[in-house]
Structure 1
Amino acid sequence: MTVVTINDAFIRDLSEIVKTENIKVNEPLNAHTYTQMGGNADVFVTASRYEEVEQVVRFANEHNVPFTLIGNGSNMIIKDGGIRGIVLSLKRLDDIQVEGTRLVAQSGARIIDASREALSHSLSGLEFACGIPGTVGGALFMNAGAYGGEIKDVLTEAVVVDREGNLKTLAAEDLDLSYRTSNIPDNGYIVMEARFDLKEGSYDDIKAVMDDLTFKRESKQPLEYPSCGSVFKRPPGYFAGKLIQDSDLQGKGIGGAEVSKKHAGFIINKDHATATEYIDVIHMVQRTVKDKFGVELEREVKIIGEDPES
């Protein structure tokens, strides 16, 4: 386990950048994820301004302290050992603005809310995102998509902070967006805002599409339980959920984690599961599908943090 020294002097120096009330020491991360699992963060910082993000990155570099960014925790699993160093949340950077057919959303805004704001201005292009639970930043990170649409279809630019703490604007093509991936993690970018080019449309037509997609989501997905959403990417030529279903894995689990009976592509936290149990179920599914069909299921969700001390 990585050892990071967090003392009063460290917190005092950090509080010169971020207000003291926005700094939490030894913060439980299960309160910050959709799965309701995960250990503690050494230091949990909530940023309210772009300048704070730039300065916190530089501070972490100067102090040689690990640095981790989280959105609203909808597509990640945090291990039971927690996260060392600084964990930065951008949830307060959630402004959404519409300028003509351009929608500009800050990283911490929910992509669902961006979709709804587009609807309110009769703008088409983000209908597919009306049921995606993540933030705008997280949506760019993995080029989120659903029902035939994806972020790369409508993104024109992104404002990011780089590893050195510098703010820069990048064209969408600079992010190498492809199926459920981008170069954002490899480059260490922190997405601050996204700029989308949408099209004028009929409010009623856009709403009808969103209502239909919402109905499909609510009728097919186990929204009554905590989960990280769809766990696996779609393997070429197959559907992950169908492979899992045909492997007779629905309802199978370890501890409090279980493959959903409602949608085989989801693993739910049915009864106070630990992250270790949840991850073990992921591995069980991958092994079983590989043995039965010879297909490697690749995770769509991100696993971060450290294993608990034994």
Structure 2
Amino acid sequence: MNILHIYNDLKKLMHEEHVFQNEPLKKYTFTKTGGHADLLVLPTSYSEVEAVYKYAKQNDLPLTILGNGSNLIIRDGGIRGIVMILTKLNQIIVDGNRIIAQSGATIIDVSRTAQAHNLTGLEFACGIPGTAGGALFMNAGAYGGEVKDVLESAIVLDEEGNLRTLSKDEFDFGYRTSAFAKKNYCVLEGTFLCETGDATSIKEKMDELTYLRESKQPLEYPSCGSVFKRPPGHFAGKLIQDSDLQGVQIGGVQVSTKHAGFMVNVDHGTASDYIELIQHVQKTVYEKFGIQLETEVKIIGEN
């Protein structure tokens, strides 16, 4: 793989100031960890996404598509091939009771847009740190609400690089999963169907959820959000707490003393610190309770 040759090709497919070589990915992740990308592109249109996707496919190059890196750990060896980050695709449009959001818009901004237009249904998302695309991909949810409750349609790039519009019966949503994840679709846009609501009630609900989040979650440190999925009949944070793991630290990464379901980067931690701590927590919880914690955070890249 001739990196310089590919770099020059990519600069012809899109704005060259949005193409980078040997770019440190820790600049783009919430954990502030991760190695370098051979090549990084930041597309500003669906046609640029499509062009890069087809270029990678035609030249048999690895392509990794990311949002804002909120629920993600990128290993310290970085990512080979092309990394495409979609955060510049961040337009949000309101059309009656519908909110049309490009995949790079934050789901928090989508929620706030709904509030500004007295639309209800997206209050649950007011504290979820990911993008709209990431929220669709993993059926993000919080405080009793999930993306599946409000998503009406989505525009994706399928594995062949074709633009497709999917409707509700094709989403195949489950707990922290979807057809987008299962079929490896690149989400470009989602349309959320809301209902007209009372402005005061919507604001009160969002203020309440924001307070709960800020009082319970360790937002003062870099983190990857909730590390583990909720095991059936249990709460991951409670199991970790009851295993006396709160405050345990490996390298610069610590099981949060504020919320045991989070791991925070307290002192220049690395992705390897995160992964080692995750494995230690999984092993300890399994030995104590016989429950295997499954990661919600996505771990990718080279060792």
TM range (shorter): over 0.9
Amino acid at match of 1:236: P
Amino acid at match of 1:191: V
- 1:126 and 2:122 equivalent? yes
C-alpha RMSD of matched pairs (Å): 0.8
Superposed CA offset, 1:113-169 (max 9, x none): 000000000000000000000000000110000000000000010000112221110
Give % identity: 59
- Once the two structures are superposed, the pairs formed by residues 106-255 of structure 1 within 5 Å of their partners are 106-255=102-251
The 2-side partners of 1:173 and 1:303 are apart by 29
Match of 1:280 in 2: 276
Superposed CA offset, 1:262-309 (max 9, x none): 0000001110001001111000110000000001111101001010xx
Q: How many equivalent residue pairs? A: 303
- 1:291 and 2:287 equivalent? yes
Structure 2 SS opposite 1:205: helix
- 1:53 touches 1:165 (CA, 8 Å); kept in 2? no
- 2:98 touches 2:193 (CA, 8 Å); kept in 1? yes
- 1:71 touches 1:138 (CA, 8 Å); kept in 2? yes
Structure 2 SS opposite 1:15: helix
The 2-side partners of 1:186 and 1:179 are apart by 13
Which of these residues, 14, 17, 27, is aligned with residue 18 of structure 1? Answer: 14
The 1-side partners of 2:152 and 2:236 are apart by 30
TM score, norm. by length of structure 2: 0.99
The 2-side partners of 1:71 and 1:291 are apart by 35
TM score, norm. by length of structure 1: 0.96
The 2-side partners of 1:61 and 1:13 are apart by 14
Which deviates more, 9-18 or 136-145?
Answer: 9-18
- 1:6 and 2:3 equivalent? yes
Superposed CA offset, 1:46-86 (max 9, x none): 00000000110000011111000110000000000000000
The 1-side partners of 2:183 and 2:235 are apart by 30
The 2-side partners of 1:170 and 1:262 are apart by 40
- Once the two structures are superposed, the pairs formed by residues 75-94 of structure 1 within 5 Å of their partners are 75-94=71-90
Superposed CA offset, 1:222-249 (max 9, x none): 0000000000111001010000000000
Q: Note the residue ranges of structure 2 that are not aligned, 5 or more in a row.
A: none
Amino acid at match of 2:274: Y
The 2-side partners of 1:91 and 1:260 are apart by 28
The 1-side partners of 2:247 and 2:299 are apart by 23
Match of 1:54 in 2: 50
Amino acid at match of 2:191: R
- 2:119 touches 2:196 (CA, 8 Å); kept in 1? yes
Superposed CA offset, 1:1-58 (max 9, x none): xxx4312x32222222112111000000000000000000000000000000011000
Q: Note the residue ranges of structure 1 that are not aligned, 5 or more in a row.
A: none
The 2-side partners of 1:220 and 1:10 are apart by 46
- 1:71 and 2:73 equivalent? no
- 1:232 touches 1:240 (CA, 8 Å); kept in 2? yes
Measured after TM superposition, the shift of residue 185 of structure 1 is 2.6
Structure 2 SS opposite 1:60: helix
Structure 1 SS opposite 2:12: coil
The 2-side partners of 1:300 and 1:34 are apart by 15
Which of these residues, 34, 48, 60, is aligned with residue 30 of structure 2? Answer: 34
The 1-side partners of 2:153 and 2:300 are apart by 27
- 2:138 touches 2:181 (CA, 8 Å); kept in 1? no
The 1-side partners of 2:168 and 2:147 are apart by 10
The 2-side partners of 1:120 and 1:109 are apart by 16
